[in-house]
Amino acid sequence: MCGIVGYIGTKQAQDVLVSGLKRLEYRGYDSAGVATLGPRGAATVLRTKGKVQELVDLVATHQKTDSVGIGHTRWATHGEPSKRNAHPHVAGSIHLVHNGIIENYQDLRITLQQHDYDFKSDTDTEVLAALIDYVSRDTSSLLEAVRSALGMVVGAYGIAVLDTKHPDEIVVARKGSPLILGVGNGEVFIASDASALLGYTKQVIYLQDGELAVCKASGVELYDMSNKILEPTVETLEMDLEAVQKKGYDHFLLKEIHEQPDTVRATLRGRIDAEAHTARLGGVNMTNDELRDVHHIMIVGCGTAYYAGVLAKYYIEQLLGDVVISVEIASELRYRSFTVPEGTLALIVSQSGETADTLACLTELKRRGVHCLGVVNAVGSSIAREVDGGVYVHVGAEVSVASTKAFTSQVVAMLLFGLTAADAKGVDPERRATLIDELDLLPGEIERVLKAHEAEVKKIAKRYAKYDNSLYVGRDTLFPVALEGSLKLKEISYVHAEGYAAGELKHGPIALIDDTFFEVFYLLDNWLYEKSQSNLIEMNARGAHAIVITDTARKVDAEVVVRVNSKLELLTPLLFNIVSQLLAYYIAIERGSDVDQPRNLAKSVTVE
């Protein structure tokens, strides 16, 4: 969940490391640090609590010409955010940065204390550094010391290791936490996220679980845990520097909300033919016969990806009729004694492709013989590499911690899979054509909503930013929109927000309505209009401060009504979600929140 960078070559390492760490700020962190080595192994370690800028200022007063080093942005797991808990951690000659969790660190700590190691932090990472240092007493090889130490640990890790006795190399290893090696001319870059490599190299090696590498200025030597030499696969990085620029927007979050017309077009490109009313995904890797044999679709995700799955479920089950659709929270599913019916296919949904719980579910489902398809954004990610097939959503870099454009395109990508399966199963072409028509219209409709309602929503946000509590309420396809809308608000504004199905109001949540709450109520002018309207009337009778987001022209009794005029019918909930994203953003701005890097959150959740 943190950020790792490393460099060995001819450049000034501090500059490269700090530049990389600034690119990784979006992942979430509470402290930062760098360690560099001079040609004779003299180490310079600089660490700060707080923003990377504080580290930048510290480096400016301790500049070195060292050309090898490692850096880190930490998101606290073991021990409070503080300078002493910040990485890199040092033990003897070993300097270490680490993403992940060492589960047996307490037992290892007790053992190492018996060998005169005095720990200065509360972290599991310092224990791992001490373990490597202890093991290195019996070998002259840093690679062997790291491999031997990792054989004693239980947990997940992505690590980069410096040793003052070996100033011409960095050893890295991965198990459950991503690492990418960038290969240049006489230099090697190390990062936990491809964005840190932008502007330096496009030639990369994705480290796989159970792999270690010795990085030298001359190149990369790749090994497995049994010391077998592996042949690195060098790939071209499909990302550019422009993707991680704000382009005139105040925040990445606002930029990414506004990018959705283009990102949805990118998700659809080459996959639908609006004139022929056909949809086809090329990466499913299943024949029509195999698709016809699918009787159960399991959608697995966490957070926003889970809510995207819940919304997609409503549409896919309408399309496929006799196919059972279940949506599972990955962190719950992985520990359940669940049954996988015959004819099950799994959609594994993750923006980063590195979500630890979702990845664990993928491993278990594959073990059970389930055909798994990925719905991911990050090319080369762990999930993208381990699934049997799938679809990239192609939304580009999503820098803001709160996901917006990925949610919309995840829903679209899953609908494309539903249409592909419907075609194979011979579902009524008219039913498919209606959805294809709406998908084709969707980017333009999102564009219209942004233009028509942003200024309006900004004014509404000023009025409701004073509230510390909120309820988001919707029925049918609007229920997952309520869940996602409330999540966005709580993530970036810290307003207590809960999402509920409208029919559940009288089963408890309606008791919350008072003057400390405002409500966001989603109202579609469809066959459930009267039932939904009744729920709104019940809320108003109890003093609700309701913001209604609706497509109806009928009279609506509420404090504020946002009327979304659209050519869509089926996919209108995705337009309502755009309004919700804007509302969350502008309320957060009014409350003075850091919308791109909200407290306590990280972009890629690579540990439990």
Is pLDDT of 245 > 90? Answer: no
What is the structure's pLDDT at 376?
93
The tokens 């022929």 sit on which residue? Answer: 276
Q: What is the pLDDT of residues 377-415, one digit of tens each?
A: 888 788 988 999 989 999 988 888 899 999 999 999 999
Same domain, 215 and 84: yes
Q: Is 179 exposed, middle or buried (0-12, 13-18, 19+ CB in 10 A)?
A: buried
Instruction: State the average pLDDT for the chain.
Output: 92
CATH code at 167?
3.60.20.10
The tokens 């408890």 sit on which residue? Answer: 508
Looking at per-residue confidence, does 87 or 309 come out higher?
309
Helix, coil or strand: residue 569:
coil
Q: How confident is the model at residue 242 (pLDDT cuts 50, 70, 90)?
A: low
- Asked if 215 is an active-site residue, the reply is no
Q: What is the pLDDT of residues 78-93, one digit of tens each?
A: 778 788 999 999 999 9
Same domain, 80 and 227: yes
The domain of 64 spans: 3-242
Contacts of 485 (CB under 8 A, 6+ apart): 472, 497, 499, 520, 522, 577, 580, 581, 583, 584
Q: What is the pLDDT of residues 461-504, one digit of tens each?
A: 999 999 999 999 999 999 999 999 999 999 999 999 999 999 99
CA–CA distance, 347 with 375 (Å, rounded to integer): 7
What is the structure's pLDDT at 50?
85
Same domain, 261 and 333: yes
Structure tokens at 122: 């509360």
Q: How confident is the model at residue 195 (pLDDT cuts 50, 70, 90)?
A: confident
Same domain, 396 and 536: no
* Contact between residue 3 and residue 193 where contact means Cβ atoms under 8 Å apart: yes
Is pLDDT of 607 > 60? Answer: no
Is pLDDT of 608 > 60? Answer: no
Is pLDDT of 240 > 70? Answer: no
How many CB atoms lie under 10 A from the CB of residue 243?
14
Residue 439 counted as domain residue: no
Same domain, 403 and 491: no
Contacts of 11 (CB under 8 A, 6+ apart): 67, 187
Percent of residues, the chain, with pLDDT higher than 90? 74
Same domain, 207 and 58: yes
Q: At residue 426, what are phi and psi to the nearest 5 degrees? A: 75, 30
Is pLDDT of 602 > 70? Answer: no
What is the structure's pLDDT at 101?
87
Same domain, 289 and 203: no
Amino acid letter, 55: L
Calculate helix-pair angle for 429-464, 572-590, nearest 10 degrees.
Answer: 20
What is the structure's pLDDT at 421?
94
Helix, coil or strand: residue 5:
strand
R_g (Cα) of the chain, nearest Å: 25
CATH code at 254?
3.40.50.10490
Q: How confident is the model at residue 258 (pLDDT cuts 50, 70, 90)?
A: very high
Residue 467 counted as domain residue: yes
Same domain, 144 and 236: yes
Among the residue ranges 41-45, 214-218, 530-534, 603-607, the one predicted with the least confidence is: 603-607
Residue 264 counted as domain residue: yes
- What is the 3-class SS of 443-494, one letter each residue? HHHHHHHHHHHHHHHHHHHHHHCCCCEEEEEECCCHHHHHHHHHHHHHHHHC
How many CB atoms lie under 10 A from the CB of residue 506?
11
Same domain, 94 and 150: yes
Q: Which of 183, 211, 242 is the last residue of a domain?
A: 242
Is pLDDT of 243 > 90? Answer: no
Q: Which residues, in sequence order, are bridge partners of residue 498?
A: 471
Q: What is the pLDDT of residues 135-178, one digit of tens each?
A: 999 999 999 999 999 999 998 899 999 999 999 999 999 998 88
- Give the residue-averaged pLDDT of 519-527: 95
What is the structure's pLDDT at 28?
64
Q: Which of 35-44, 215-224, 236-245, 268-277 has the largest mean confidence?
A: 215-224
- Give the residue-averaged pLDDT of 267-286: 90
Q: Which residues, in sequence order, are bridge partners of residue 220?
A: 215
Q: Which residues, in sequence order, are bridge partners of residue 449?
A: none
Which among 2, 302, 361, 372 is annotated as catalytic?
2
* 378 secondary structure, DSSP code: S
Q: Please state whether beta strands 546-550 and 560-563 pair in parallel, antiparallel, or not at all (unpaired).
A: parallel
Is pLDDT of 267 > 90? Answer: yes
Percent of residues, the chain, with pLDDT higher than 70? 97
- Give the residue-averaged pLDDT of 331-343: 91
Residue 438 counted as domain residue: no
Q: How confident is the model at residue 323 (pLDDT cuts 50, 70, 90)?
A: very high
Helix, coil or strand: residue 508:
coil
What is the structure's pLDDT at 454?
97
Same domain, 69 and 192: yes
Same domain, 221 and 302: no
Is pLDDT of 604 > 70? Answer: no
Q: Please state whether beta strands 68-74 and 31-37 pair in parallel, antiparallel, or not at all (unpaired).
A: antiparallel
Which among 22, 175, 405, 603 is annotated as catalytic?
603
* 601 secondary structure, DSSP code: -
Same domain, 210 and 291: no
Q: Which of 427, 457, 474 is the last residue of a domain?
A: 427
Residue 440 counted as domain residue: no
How many CB atoms lie under 10 A from the CB of residue 119?
15
Q: CA 26 → CA 48, 51, 243, 447, distances in Å? A: 17, 11, 13, 26
Is pLDDT of 287 > 60? Answer: yes
Is pLDDT of 1 > 60? Answer: no
Q: Give how many domains the chain has, as a whole number.
A: 3
Residue 115 counted as domain residue: yes
Longest dimension (CA), the chain: 80
Q: Which of 203, 227, 242 is the last residue of a domain?
A: 242
CA–CA distance, 403 with 485 (Å, rounded to integer): 11
Residue 289 counted as domain residue: yes
- Asked if 603 is an active-site residue, the reply is yes
Q: What is the pLDDT of residues 410-467, one digit of tens each?
A: 999 999 999 999 999 999 888 899 999 999 999 999 999 999 999 999 999 999 999 9
- Give the residue-averaged pLDDT of 499-512: 91
Residue 434 counted as domain residue: no
